A = this chain, B = another copy of it.
Amino acid sequence: MTISDVARAAGVSVATVSKVVNNRYGVSPATAERVLGVVAELGYESSLVARSLRQRSTNVVGVLVAGFEPYSTELLKGISSAVEGTGYELLAYSGGSDGGSMVGWERRSLSRLAGTLIDAAIVVTPTLVLTEAQGIPVVAIDPHTGPEGTPTVDSDNTSGAREAVEHLIGLGHRRIAHLGGRTDLESARLRELGYRQALAAAGIEVDPGWVRVGGYWPETADAPARELLDPPSGERPTAVFAANDQSAIHVLEVAAEKGLRVPEDLSVVGFDDIPESASCTPPLTTVAQPLHRMGAEALRMVLDLLQGTPREQHLRLPTSLVVRSSTGPAPSPR
């Protein structure tokens, strides 16, 4: 079903059909009506691809993600509700989640879509600096680096992490481990920084063996979580601050498997406050990022950029501690 089919059926040229469906001037009412009739009858709809190849703008904003997991989908919800009424449509593209060359997925996806399919892009957790080279406005959420280059939206990772660890210290914990995030993400670095700051402020020394790389994913967090809960030598920590909810939830699972009671034997704190953190067992104490709002603000920024009225370059939103049932008083020393 192409424009030529319509043209043939209506007995006019493709140019005329194009004019009719795009409401251009220079077509007689009679012809327009006839063409519209054929369009309706055949159920013709112009191909986004062909149209965008030819035209400058598509009215589509791209959301580039590495995969659809709880973090990116929460952002997507915020972006989606913010796009309502703006006249733009959303296209979420998951490139590079697939095996092979995950590195640089954001640049690849951007190159493949920019300039043609999408007018602007929101990139979720890019791991490298996005050059503006693609020629379209780009906003990064939770970027690799601190503010530089592309406009960004993130939350106050350091202070959020500090608050989480202060909460544990306030409960009497002294042996607090950290299951870190992805080393290639600024957020992970900042959360570890907050962890260290809180411990330093309380005069607690950090045991080097209690800081592990968890990689933000359940799979990558598995081995380090087991090492933390089953230390080959030395004492087990009484609390774990995980760099995100997905790995915190995995810690919960490993703990259950090992017969550790949470929070009696072990307290666990996460980061992000994805919906799943409220429904795991026990419900997770975590540092909430305003994910919906971050998504909505990113969309607003990217549309501002598109309309040439950029406001701020970098937006940092506050976090808040949500205390649920995975944290409790430190067990008394044996």
Contact = CB atoms under 8 A, between A and B. Distances in A.
A132 interface: no
Interface stretch (A80-88, A198-206, A236-244): A80-88
A12 interface: no
A224 interface: no
B112 A48 contact: yes
A112 B108 CA distance: 23
Interface in A184-211: none
Number of copies of this chain that the complex holds: 2
A95 B84 CA distance: 11
A107 interface: yes
Nearest to A108: B45
A221 interface: no
A182 B141 CA distance: 34
A46 to B, nearest CB: 7
A274 interface: yes
A93 B279 CA distance: 29
A91 interface: yes
A94 B90 contact: yes
Interface stretch (A13-21, A67-75, A260-268, A310-318): A67-75
Contacts of A77: 68-70, 73
Interface stretch (A28-36, A113-121, A148-156, A165-173): A113-121
A58 to B, nearest CB: 9
Nearest to A46: B112
A213 interface: no
A100 B46 CA distance: 18
A293 to B, nearest CB: 15
Interface of A: 1, 43-50, 52-53, 67-70, 73, 76-77, 79-80, 83-95, 97-99, 107-108, 111-113, 115-117, 131, 133-134, 274-279, 283
